[in-house]
Amino acid sequence: MNNGIILCIDDERVVLNGLQSQLVRDFGAEYAIELAESGEEALELVKDLINEGNEILVVISDQLMPGIKGHELLKHIHLISPATFNVLLTGHSDLEAVTDAVNNANLYRYLTKPWEEKDLVLTVREAIKSFYQGQKLEIQNKLLERHNKELELLVNERTHELQEEKKKIDDLLLNILPNEIAVELKESGEAKPRHYELATVLFTDFQSFTQLASTATPQELVQTLNECYTAFDEIIERHNLEKIKTIGDAYMCAGGLPNKNFTNPIDAVAAAWEIHKWVSSWNRDRHAQGRIPWNIRIGIHTGTLIAGVIGKKKFCYDIWGDAVNMASRIESHGEIGKINISKATFDLVKHRYHCTHRGKIAAKGKGEIDMYFVEGTL
């Protein structure tokens, strides 16, 4: 069996070269990076690679190409290689194409051009991790199926045990999916993607995390992150936000989903303010103990997005759209100990919070945009 494959597809050679350069630097030692300049070339390459016994881990495809479009190409690739994680890369917010790819192509992530290298690398790394976890889970599912058949032979004697097992499975599903989505998935076998006109995305990130990680033992690092994320989970739950995921030291949650509401901008800022206060108090305690503080940035943006469940064996509730990318940009352009919000969010919370206008700040891929610091409640 050869190394796993990362396949990049774009009709612009300069874009392919950029993708190849970034991916080789981070993944070239472990995985092969293959390139295709059209959808037709990519389909032939996928068939050849699979026939040769390769595993295609991730496909990154442009949306607007001559001939077959990106989302249609990913649907064809999904039929050939269902386990492959697909990423759509485009300069246009085509929500209809993204929704189609989520429904029919196992779309893992939607990134806009120009992308940030950090976003691309994190996306590919998490997709590869999920690919191999899916393989392990498939083996575990086969073992579970065999176990269930054995249990059926003893059902009359072990009814109580089966009920307890079902409860554990239900509880596990509720731990990884919102309650409403989990119920829909159990009742119909699927959870349809939903479009939200008004949702607020909140990102947090620890400053100089790589340096902090190098000074801590693995046990201390995981324990500290768990301490922070447990507190964040409790805070956002009080403010009606939904945790989406953590990627290393980055924490992402959103308001206004899965149940739509109009209070999510205020909910998100309230949660961010409480997180800010918790981290400040926590860092004071660390300083008193002679320990290094973990400084945090917080960014918030309100806009439209798509939310849905991806995966058939390992479910993941995720969100896509320009609002997610914008929130990430807002967070990365924030300052330590500050809550940085977009103008879209500011316009919806200014009657409740005192904010300072920072002026227009250059955000990569977005041009100059208005940003505000939240200073406190009115």
DSSP class per residue in 63-110:
SS-SSS-HHHHHHHHHHH-TT-EEEEEESS--HHHHHHHHHHS-EEEE
Identity of residue 249: D
User: How many domains does the structure of the chain reveal?
Assistant: 3
> Do both 310 and 371 map to the same domain?
yes
Identify the pLDDT of residue 236: 95
Cα gap 186→205, rounded to integer Å: 34
Per-state percent for the chain, helix, strand, coil, to nearest 5: 50, 25, 25
Among the three residues 127, 147, 173, which one is the final residue of a domain in this structure?
127
> Do both 209 and 350 map to the same domain?
yes
Distances (CA, A) of 109 to 149, 220, 258: 37, 31, 19
Q: Nearest 5°: phi and psi at 48?
A: -65, -45
CA atoms within 13 Å, Cβ hemisphere of 101:
29
Identity of residue 213: A
Identify the pLDDT of residue 16: 92
Per DSSP, the three-state class of 291 is coil
Identify the pLDDT of residue 360: 87
Identify the pLDDT of residue 202: 97
> Do both 84 and 168 map to the same domain?
no
Cα gap 303→341, rounded to integer Å: 12
Distances (CA, A) of 183 to 235, 244, 258: 24, 18, 12
> Do both 338 and 266 map to the same domain?
yes
- Burial class of residue 356 in the structure, from the number of CB atoms within 10 Å of its CB (0-12 exposed, 13-18 middle, 19+ buried): exposed
> Do both 275 and 305 map to the same domain?
yes
Cα gap 126→162, rounded to integer Å: 34
CA atoms within 13 Å, Cβ hemisphere of 29:
2
Identify the pLDDT of residue 313: 66
Cα gap 33→28, rounded to integer Å: 7
> Do both 106 and 139 map to the same domain?
no
The domain that contains 78 carries what CATH number?
Answer: 3.40.50.2300
Q: Nearest 5°: phi and psi at 350?
A: -65, -20
User: CA end-to-end span of the chain, whole Å?
Assistant: 63
The domain that contains 344 carries what CATH number?
Answer: 3.30.70.1230
- This prediction's pTM: 0.54
> 89: which residues sit within 8 A by CB, 6+ positions away?
10, 60, 61, 62, 63, 70, 111, 112, 113, 115
> Do both 207 and 177 map to the same domain?
no
Q: Which domain holds residue 139?
A: 134-188
> Do both 358 and 216 map to the same domain?
yes
Q: Which of 276, 229, 273 is nearest to 248 (CA)?
A: 229
Identity of residue 265: P
Cα gap 319→365, rounded to integer Å: 20
Are 269 and 339 in contact by the 8 Å Cβ rule? The answer is yes
> Do both 148 and 123 map to the same domain?
no
pLDDT string in tens for the chain (378-residue length)? 457 999 999 999 998 999 999 999 999 889 999 999 999 999 999 999 999 989 999 999 988 888 898 889 999 999 999 999 999 887 665 778 778 878 888 888 888 888 888 988 999 999 899 888 887 877 787 787 787 777 777 666 766 665 666 665 555 555 556 666 666 666 666 678 889 999 999 999 998 777 777 777 888 888 889 999 999 999 999 999 999 998 888 999 999 998 899 999 999 999 999 999 999 999 999 899 988 889 999 999 999 999 888 766 667 788 999 899 999 999 989 999 999 999 999 999 999 999 999 988 887 777 888 999 999 998
> Do both 278 and 170 map to the same domain?
no
Identify the pLDDT of residue 1: 41
Among the three residues 104, 127, 150, which one is the final residue of a domain in this structure?
127
Among the three residues 188, 215, 233, which one is the final residue of a domain in this structure?
188
